[in-house]
Amino acid sequence: MKSSILALAALATGLGSTAAFAGSLDQGYVEPVPVAPAPAPVAVVPDSDWTGGYVGLSYGNLDSQIGGSSDNGGIYGIHGGYDYDFGNVVLGGELEYLGTGDDYSVGGVDVDSMTRAKARLGYDFGNTLVYATAGAANIDTSAGSDTDAVGGVGLDYKVTDNFTIGGEALAHSFNDVGGSDLDAQTFSLRGAFRF
């Protein structure tokens, strides 16, 4: 019997050491490893700075009304200005000279040229600038000249860092052109070199 107890004890000791070396089936609770969340997608807006001077040319249409008569015709011009980019907001100023050619007449009044001084306030969308503009305009006609308010909207697009194309729509209201009111609207396509 003694040998049976010794054999049983040896067997129990052998099983215990085997279990200790093999490990237990019950590993217990394992703490999960935290995983960093994926970064949120970021909208990429082209980095563009509108600060600087520019000069350019324009061509468009002049539609004017005086004393119950109206007419429209081509108008061409040269402009120059300076913008300052404050981040999303762009503030600037511009001078512009426009000519009509020799044959533009409305209600018997020949319109020769127009000069404008305007402030621009716009929003920077990267390569696109959308702006409102207002200022003073002088019209020179065969019935005399007059200076009054001008205002409107425009858009410029950077084709390259140094060249923009755009468009502008402006409304004018002159109160004394040969004793009559003259209203005019211009719609122009514009191109400019920026420096």
pLDDT digits (tens, 9 = 90+) for 41-69: 765 454 689 999 999 999 999 999 998 99
Query: What pLDDT shows up at residue 3?
Result: 56
User: What 8-state DSSP symbol labels residue 9?
Assistant: H
Query: What pLDDT shows up at residue 34?
Result: 79
Pairing outcome for strands 109-124 and 144-160 = unpaired
**Does residue 21 surpass a pLDDT of 70?**
no
Average pLDDT of span 83-104: 94
Query: What pLDDT shows up at residue 36?
Result: 76
d(C-alpha 129, C-alpha 189), whole Å? 15
**Does residue 39 surpass a pLDDT of 90?**
no
Strand partners of residue 194: 54
**Does residue 25 surpass a pLDDT of 90?**
no
Average pLDDT of span 12-25: 53
Q: What is the pTM for the complete model shown? A: 0.75
Q: Does domain 52-194 have CATH number 3.90.550.10?
A: no
Percent of the chain having pLDDT more than 70? Answer: 83
Mean of per-residue pLDDT scores for the chain: 87
90 in Cβ contact with 122 (< 8 Å): yes
Q: What is the pLDDT of residues 132-160, one digit of tens each?
A: 999 999 999 999 999 999 999 999 999 99
Domain locations in the chain as residue ranges: 52-194
**Does residue 130 surpass a pLDDT of 90?**
yes
| φ, ψ (nearest 5 deg) of residue 12 | -65, -40
Query: What pLDDT shows up at residue 67?
Result: 87
Q: Could you count the other beta carbons within 10 Å of the beta carbon of residue 162?
A: 12
Q: Could you count the other beta carbons within 10 Å of the beta carbon of residue 23?
A: 8
